[in-house]
Amino acid sequence: MVLILCVAGIAGTLANSAVQHLAGGKPFTDTARNWGRYGVAIACAVFIPVSYASYPQPAADIVALLALTITPSVLSKKVFHVEAPWHLVLALNLVYALVTWSVFTLLL
């Protein structure tokens, strides 16, 4: 389970970095080589099995996707002081959430 969470979190972070680069943000290598992002991503990925254990389907998927989108967005803005507008931060973290959730469910 831990390995699946790590792979899912890393995949979501790489997808987030790629979309951020394509949207005209920082270069892919700048964000993809920020190791702290992977730690946050893997820690946030823990919301998936927790929501699966706490809620029935499809509520568990909805709660997991919301947590995977909102938590890193709030951390980005309030802890890491990202200056991008909220709508962009939420959109980029939705990419992370969808990829992380998809990889987790495919590997589970």
pLDDT digits (tens, 9 = 90+) for 48-89: 999 999 999 999 999 999 999 999 999 999 999 999 999 999
**Helix, strand, coil percent content, the chain, rounded in steps of 5:** 80, 0, 20
* Cβ within 8 Å of residue 87, ≥6 positions away: none
- Answer yes or no: is pLDDT of 98 > 90: yes
Long-range contacts of 28-34 (CB under 8 A, 24+ apart): none
How far is 108 from 25, CA to CA, in rounded Å?
33
- Give the per-residue pLDDT at 25: 78
pTM: 0.94
| pLDDT per position as a tens digit, 7-29 | 999 999 999 999 999 998 789 98
